A = this chain, B = another copy of it.
């Protein structure tokens, strides 16, 4: 009945391969808006525009849906940061670039950032999320190390993580200059 805007072929009905990904994406949006405790089959179904039975069909249990959503969001974050590192000129001013990255995470990319930290804390009480959370901060350290050295990479990963988390909770959008100064101070004494 309904047709795909691009190809003109059938989209609904049996065998819709995009359906599962759409549900996972809706789950990420729900977590970003209401937190992990707001993730319910019904909320996700409403956000994805699919019937309730569809979410329980594609994801046997709610834990599975949560795991897929958080892992997908974390992977998207890693990919975004790899792009950031790769597009950095060789002689870039690292503290300035880091400040840009933090500001981006607090504004345009805020939902994905929020979901990342939801993943962290959710993993505290859900062992099956641990692999995803450790993969995320391993990637963080590796990306920063590729711009400096392993020891500095570790420091930057921790500082970046802590600073972003703190700033997410500040009501007035924080001062970019101060963020840059903090990184500059962390890198060179």
- Residue numbers of A with Cβ under 8 A of B are 33-38, 114, 117-118, 120-125, 130, 133-134, 137, 151-152, 154-155, 157-163, 165-166, 168-171, 181-182, 185-189
Interface on chain A toward B: helix, strand, loop, or mixed SS? Answer: helix
Q: Is the CB of A121 within 8 A of B163?
A: no
**A66–chain B nearest beta-carbon distance, Å:** 11
Query: Which interface residue of A121, A163, A168, A182 has the most chain B CB atoms within 10 A?
Result: A121
Known: A34-B125, A35-B124. 19 other contacts (CB 8 A): A35-B122, A36-B37, A37-B37, A117-B120, A117-B121, A120-B121, A120-B165, A130-B169, A134-B170, A151-B185, A155-B182, A157-B162, A158-B163, A159-B159, A160-B162, A161-B161, A162-B162, A187-B189, A189-B189
Chain B contacts of A189 at CB under 8 A? 187-189
**A135–chain B nearest beta-carbon distance, Å:** 11
Q: Is the CB of A158 within 8 A of B182?
A: yes
Can you spell out 24 A-B residue pairs with CB atoms less than 8 angstroms apart? A33-B125, A36-B37, A114-B124, A117-B124, A118-B124, A120-B165, A120-B169, A121-B121, A123-B169, A124-B168, A124-B169, A134-B170, A137-B166, A151-B181, A151-B185, A152-B185, A154-B182, A157-B162, A158-B163, A158-B166, A159-B159, A160-B162, A161-B161, A162-B165
